Structures are given as C-alpha cells and as structure tokens.
Amino acid sequence: MRKEKVKNYKGEDQVALDVLKNMKEQGLESTFDRYQNQQPQCGFGSTGLCCRHCQMGPCNIDPFGRGAQTGVCGADANTIAARHFLRIVAAGSAAHSDHGRSVAHLFISTARGEAPGYEIKDKEKLFMLAEIFDVKTEGRELKEIAEEVGEMGLAEFGKAYGYQRLVVRAPENRQKVWEKLGITPRAIDREVTESMHRSGMGTDQDFKNIISQASRVSLADGWGGAMLATEMQDALFGTPKPVHGKANMGVFKKDTVNVVVHGHEPQVSEMVAVVAQDPEMIKLANEAGAKDGITIGGICCTANELLVRHGIPLAGHLKMQELIIATGAIEAVVVDVQCIMQADVDLSNEFHTKVITTSSKAKISGASHIEVTDENALAKAKEIIKIAIDNYGNRDNETINIPKVKQSDVVVGFSHETIKYMLGGKFRASYRPLNDNIINGRIRGVAGVVGCASSTVWPDKRPYLDLVKELIANNVLVVQTGCAAAECARGGLMVPEFKKYAGEGLREVCEAVGIPPVLHSGSCVDNSRILIALSELVAEGGLGNDFSELPAAGTCLDWMHEKALTIGQYFVASGAYIVFGTESPVAGAPDVHKYLTEGIEEETGGKWAFEPDHSKIAKMLIAAIEHKRDLLGINEKKERKLYDMEDRRKLEVV
C-alpha cells in the first residue's frame, strides 16, 4: 500500500493520471488526495484492535504488550479482532443480500404485471430456479411460476426454519463439511442479525466460535443473497453470453448527451439504458445539440451488469468515479446503491453535472433525488434522461477534457452456462474438456481475480494487469468479476487475441474453444457464478470430490468494501485458498490471524493469506494450485519454469 506523497503523473494508467493532473491544476481534490490526508491511519483500527461496541469504550489493545491488553469488560485482543472481522463480513452479507432482496421484489412485481418495462427474459433460468424451489411448472402459466419462484426466493431472507435452499448446488461432500461444522446458512436476515448480536458487548467471546459465525453469515451471502441476486437478475435481464463491448473513459463523446450509471442494482440502469435507445429520446438529444445522440457509460458493478449482458460501455471502476465527472462532459450521474463516493456531489458542482440518487436507501446531501420503484421505473428513467438532455446545453466547452484514449475492446459475458456451452458445444454442454485439460496439465488450474480496485493504489501502477498476465503466462485460466474485472477490461486483457500472452497449453485450449484466457463473469454478486462453475468442475469428475481438492485459488488485491471480505470468507468456508493484497485486518490478534491463515484449513479445507506486496501474489496462487495438483496426483514429474517479473515485463500489452 502506498503511503508516500503522490506526485508521479507518468505511469501505467496514463488516462487516469492525465485527468488527475488536470484536476490538480484546476485545484480539484480527488479521493487520492483524501487518502494522503488520512495518513497515518489509525493502527488500532487497521489491525482489528479497536472496539466501540459499548459506551464503556472505545477500547484499544496495545499490540506491543506495554499498555492495556483487555477492554473495560475484559475482552481480549482475540475477541475484539474476531468481532471486528465478523461485523465486516456481516455488513458485506447485508449489502449483497439486500440487493438480492430488491431483485426478488422486482421479480414478483414483474410476474404480477405490476412493473411496466420489465419482463422475465430467460425462461430456462426461471425453470432452473423452479426446480430448486420445488415449484411445479407443468401446465402452469409462466407468470404464475415466476410469481411463486419470486416468493420462494424472497422467503430465503426471512424464513423461520430450515437452511438456504441453494446450498444443494454445492458438491455433496461440501454440504457435509458445512453440516459437520454447523455452518450451513439459515435465513439470510437471521444470520446477519445473529452476527450483530454475537459481536455485541458480552456475548460471543471465543474467537473460533465468532469466526464460525463469520463463515455462516458469509455463506448466507454466497450461497444465498448474492446467488439469488445473480440468478433472478439473469431471469429478468438475460443470462450473459459473449458480447463485444468497450471499456474506459473514452466511451464518452463530445457530441453525445453523456449519462453515467453507477452503483450495483441493475433495475434502474437497465431502464435508463432502454430509454436511451428510444428514437424519441435520441431526437430530443439531437435537438438539444448532441448530434450523436446519447451515451450511457457505467461505473462499478452497475457497469459490469450492463457490460456483460448488453455490451453497454464500461467507463471505469470505483477509483475512477471522480475522474469521470472531472471530464466536464457528463450531464447526469445516476446512482443506485453502494460504492458511491459522497465527494461526487461536491465535485459535480464544479461542473454542470447533476448527481441523481434513485433509491430510498441511498440519498446524498446536495444531490437531486428521483425515487425509482418497480412500478414507476420506466417513467422515471424517461424523466432522468430528459433532465440529462436538458442539461447538455449547460456544458462549459472550455473545461471539457475527455482523455483522447483508444478505449479497449472487450469480449465479456462468461456466465458458467456460457462457459459450459462453449466448452462442450450447444448439444452436449459440458465442463469435460476443461477438466481434461486441467488433468493433462495444459491448463494448470483456475484463478478468480475479483473485488475492488481502490484509492489506496495510485494509478502509476496497475497491479491487477501484472498479476493476470503472470497467471495466464503460467497457464492458469483467469475468471474475473467486480472492479478487478473492470480494471482488466480497461487494460485490454479481455479479447480473444490476448491469448497470445498465455502459456502454450492455455493458449491451445483458448484457440480450440474460442474463449479469451481472461473471462469476465460479471459483478461482485456474480462471484456466485464462480461457485457454480467450481461445482461443475467437481461434478464432472477427475479433480477430487470437493472444492478444497480443486487446483483453484482466488485473490483480491486492493480490497476496500466490506463485501469483499465477505466474498473471501465464503470462498474460504467453501474450501478455497484466498489471498488478499493488504495487511491482515486482524493482524493485531496473532491467534485469530493464525487461525484464519492456517488452522481454519483443517476445518473448511480453505484458508486466507494476506500479502501487501502485490508482486508476490501470482506466485502464491500458482504454488497453491500446483500443490493441489500434487495432492490429486495429476502432476507430471518434469521441471517447469515459472514466469517471473522479468518475463512478464517482456509481455507488451496496450
């Protein structure tokens, strides 16, 4: 993590650096400046040693053993750090799952015909969900089936009894592990509530027991709320299939009305995107002087959702939101929930840009609010686009500074269904070819490179690009979601031609199957797609009987949101090796840290690693994958050369 004063405006992400330089010259502050202003950050907080759970505190534990070793109530470092970890994970589950709940509501309104503009687009997905939920389909009308499936989905959040129903999609052995550990997730709301309860003053004070609840509440997300969000969104908006698109800030044009959609839930942005294509709206835009019509560009996971389903351009990820506003060419920033910086509003006031909030859950002081519901979304999306069109004339052409970069082409949309079809062909969709190529060693394994790209990394470096290049050069197939995916899309890694940078084995397979070596699978809730893809790998046979045996691993480098830690924890609880590119959030409690990075493996088969030096992470993932291959007995005995930093530098990419 970078702590020194930032001043280098030449580097790997020159587009971002150019805009930042411009902002500096205009006296505009960015998230990177604010990060510097926060240094040094509180050591108690960053190592998990601060507790504010009751009014006798806040209490800190001295990590050097000189000062207090317990809080006023006697809670020790282990308890305080484990509770801190649990609350982060619970908050992440709450965020993803509340998103899932909104989708379930929309699903029901759509089935009832109460949500104009929406429809159930993917019937196969609907029937898949119906089967899992034991909803009868024979002789019934589609809307009836959809309504019952929606109700069943919604029930997963608050049902009084039983477990999450989607866990049946995990390998049987994995379900047994969860059962044995007592961490099979129950109702989602119950797990979040219980996490808050247990981590309050005076309840759970045994760190392993606290972490086991972190596992259970995270599983309620991965195999519950987030998975429901993915599947119901697919049923509503379509399951992603390979689609061409563009990524980077250059997607915005001087001669179009530019609308940013930002946040996470695709309900609003889907409608905004539909309305923007309406000839009547395009005519209005032309009349307002925008001769090329309307451009929609996305930020964060809303962008990923629109990109993988419709090829709508992705403008950037989390740390680019202010930079995009600072182009001066944005008429409206339409936001829903999560990862929206409050600073966007102040910055937009320096330009003609209007920030419009749309969710009752997420208002921002100073922004305009147009509340969008399932029922009024189509009408409100029109209102929003009209506001943007009217605002076009207010641009200050002097201050417009859209970076003159070539946007990157991308081919994205690799849902697990699509991967299966591409591997096996439409009539015998199957993961068999992937299993075979992993077993024969052409592909060494699979790495998930997911999660945030945060303001802690100054854009003169692009660690995600280095990491992914090193992985594919070593014949590791990469699957991506979230802002990590957005970063690699911007970086030009998501085109089939990129396979020339892959190792020989991976390249051959990519050529034969017609996939890029770096697969964009969607937003952060879509990590559930990776869970299902891994389940398919296990079910196909030859790679062990559980996730923990697969030659697979995952990473997130500069994670920032609580949701990222939740994702990491549900993968660890599902048996995966996960490396995060920061210091350990429980570094101040060595026992908890040791448990998460070692001891927990004996129970779940998965474990954490925390490594702030991003250049080491590819090797850690490859070593873990090779270790799993050894255990499976599929490793040939010959010597292999690992690509290192120097080899990687020779790989020239855009």
Q: Which stretch binds ligand NFS (CB under 6 A): 377-385, 463-471, 558-566, 571-579?
A: 558-566
Query: How is residue 599 annotated by DSSP?
Result: I
Q: Does 87 bind ligand SF4 (CB under 6 A)?
A: no
**CB of 229 or CB of 586, closer to ligand NFS:** 229
**CB of 281 or CB of 300, closer to ligand NFS:** 300
Q: Which stretch binds ligand SF4 (CB under 6 A): 55-63, 166-174, 222-230, 250-258?
A: 55-63
Give which of 187, 121, 125 is closest to 157, Cα–Cα: 187
Out of 416, 563, 593, 607, the only residue in the binding site for ligand NFS (CB under 6 A) is: 563
Q: Which stretch binds ligand NFS (CB under 6 A): 208-216, 361-369, 401-409, 561-569?
A: 561-569
Q: How far apart are CA 228 and CA 233, in angstroms?
A: 8
Q: How far apart are CA 70 and CA 48, in angstroms?
A: 13
Question: How many angstroms separate the Cα of 374 from the Cα of each of 113, 270, 426, 544?
Answer: 10, 12, 35, 44
Question: With contact defined as beta carbons under 8 Å apart, do 209 and 609 qualify?
Answer: no
Q: How many residues bind ligand NFS (CB under 6 A)?
A: 16
User: Could you tell me how many residues make up the chain?
Assistant: 654
- C-beta neighbour count of 442 within 10 angstroms: 17
Q: Which does 99 bind (CB under 5 to 8 A by kind): ligand NFS, ligand SF4, none?
A: none
Out of 30, 53, 263, 414, the only residue in the binding site for ligand SF4 (CB under 6 A) is: 53
Q: Which positions ≥6 away from 193 have C-beta within 8 Å?
A: none
Describe the crossing of helices 266-276 and 279-287 by its angle, rounded to 10 degrees. Answer: 70
Long-range contacts of 173-181, Cβ-Cβ distance < 8 Å, separation of 24 or more = 173/545, 173/546, 174/546, 174/547, 174/548, 174/574, 174/575, 177/546, 177/575, 177/603, 177/604, 177/605, 178/219, 178/573, 181/212, 181/215, 181/603, 181/604
Q: Which stretch binds ligand SF4 (CB under 6 A): 57-65, 180-188, 611-619, 623-631?
A: 57-65
Question: How many angstroms separate the Cα of 212 from the Cα of each of 532, 570, 613?
Answer: 23, 11, 28
Question: With contact defined as beta carbons under 8 Å apart, do 164 and 216 qualify?
Answer: no
Within 13 Å of residue 560, how many CA atoms lie on the same side as its CB?
Answer: 20
Out of 1, 54, 370, 429, the only residue in the binding site for ligand SF4 (CB under 6 A) is: 54
**CB of 50 or CB of 384, closer to ligand SF4:** 50
Question: With contact defined as beta carbons under 8 Å apart, do 355 and 364 qualify?
Answer: yes
Q: How far apart are CA 222 and CA 228, in angstroms?
A: 9
Minimum CB separation of residue 586 from ligand SF4 in Å reads: 15
Q: Which stretch binds ligand NFS (CB under 6 A): 33-41, 146-154, 242-250, 555-563?
A: 555-563
Q: Does 609 bind ligand NFS (CB under 6 A)?
A: no
Q: Does 57 bind ligand SF4 (CB under 6 A)?
A: yes
User: Distance from first CA to last CA of the chain, Å, rounded?
Assistant: 25
Minimum CB separation of residue 575 from ligand SF4 in Å reads: 33
Q: Which stretch binds ligand SF4 (CB under 6 A): 70-78, 107-115, 135-143, 310-318?
A: 70-78
Q: Does 482 bind ligand NFS (CB under 6 A)?
A: yes
Q: Does 451 bind ligand NFS (CB under 6 A)?
A: yes
**CB of 318 or CB of 625, closer to ligand NFS:** 318
Q: Which does 311 bind (CB under 5 to 8 A by kind): ligand NFS, ligand SF4, none?
A: none
Q: Which does 517 bind (CB under 5 to 8 A by kind): ligand SF4, ligand NFS, none?
A: none
Out of 308, 318, 518, 553, the only residue in the binding site for ligand NFS (CB under 6 A) is: 318
Per-position x/- string for 193-212, each x denoting binding to ligand SF4 as judged by CB under 6 A, each - no binding? --------x-----------
Parallel/antiparallel/unpaired status of strands 59-60 and 607-610: unpaired
Number of H helices, E strands in the chain: 27, 16
Out of 75, 294, 307, 438, the only residue in the binding site for ligand SF4 (CB under 6 A) is: 75
Q: Which does 564 bind (CB under 5 to 8 A by kind): ligand SF4, ligand NFS, none?
A: ligand NFS
Give which of 606, 595, 470 is closest to 531, Cα–Cα: 606
Burial string for 607-629 (b: 16+ CB within 10 Å, else e) reads bbbbbeebeebbbebbebbbebb
Minimum CB separation of residue 67 from ligand SF4 in Å reads: 14
Give which of 50, 74, 46 is closest to 62, Cα–Cα: 50
- Which residues, numbered 13-52, are part of the site for ligand SF4 (CB under 6 A)? 51-52
Cross-strand bridge partners of residue 606: none
Q: Does 300 bind ligand NFS (CB under 6 A)?
A: yes
**CB of 201 or CB of 405, closer to ligand SF4:** 201
Question: With contact defined as beta carbons under 8 Å apart, do 574 and 502 qualify?
Answer: no
Minimum CB separation of residue 483 from ligand NFS in Å reads: 3
Q: Does 56 bind ligand SF4 (CB under 6 A)?
A: yes
Out of 337, 483, 578, 622, the only residue in the binding site for ligand NFS (CB under 6 A) is: 483
**CB of 285 or CB of 486, closer to ligand NFS:** 486
Minimum CB separation of residue 233 from ligand NFS in Å reads: 13
73 phi and psi, to 5 degrees?
-85, -5
- Which residues, numbered 159-188, are part of the site for ligand SF4 (CB under 6 A)? none
Out of 561, 614, 628, 648, the only residue in the binding site for ligand NFS (CB under 6 A) is: 561
Q: Does 132 bind ligand SF4 (CB under 6 A)?
A: no
**CB of 60 or CB of 258, closer to ligand SF4:** 60
Report DSSP letters for 67-84, one per residue.
S-SB-TT--BHHHHHHHH
Q: How far apart are CA 580 and CA 356, in angstroms?
A: 34
Q: How many residues bind ligand SF4 (CB under 6 A)?
A: 14
Minimum CB separation of residue 608 from ligand NFS in Å reads: 18
Q: How far apart are CA 238 and CA 126, in angstroms?
A: 11
Give which of 580, 574, 339 is closest to 467, Cα–Cα: 580
Minimum CB separation of residue 46 from ligand SF4 in Å reads: 17
Minimum CB separation of residue 462 from ligand NFS in Å reads: 16
Out of 281, 294, 306, 339, the only residue in the binding site for ligand NFS (CB under 6 A) is: 339
Minimum CB separation of residue 203 from ligand SF4 in Å reads: 10
Residue 306 tokens read as: 């629109």
Query: Can you say how many angstroms the Cα of residue 505 is from the centroid of all Cα atoms in its chain?
Result: 28
Q: Which does 71 bind (CB under 5 to 8 A by kind): ligand SF4, ligand NFS, none?
A: ligand SF4
Binding residues for ligand NFS, rule: CB under 6 A, are: 264, 300-301, 317-318, 339, 451-452, 482-483, 523-524, 560-561, 563-564
Binding residues for ligand SF4, rule: CB under 6 A, are: 51-54, 56-59, 71-73, 75, 80, 201
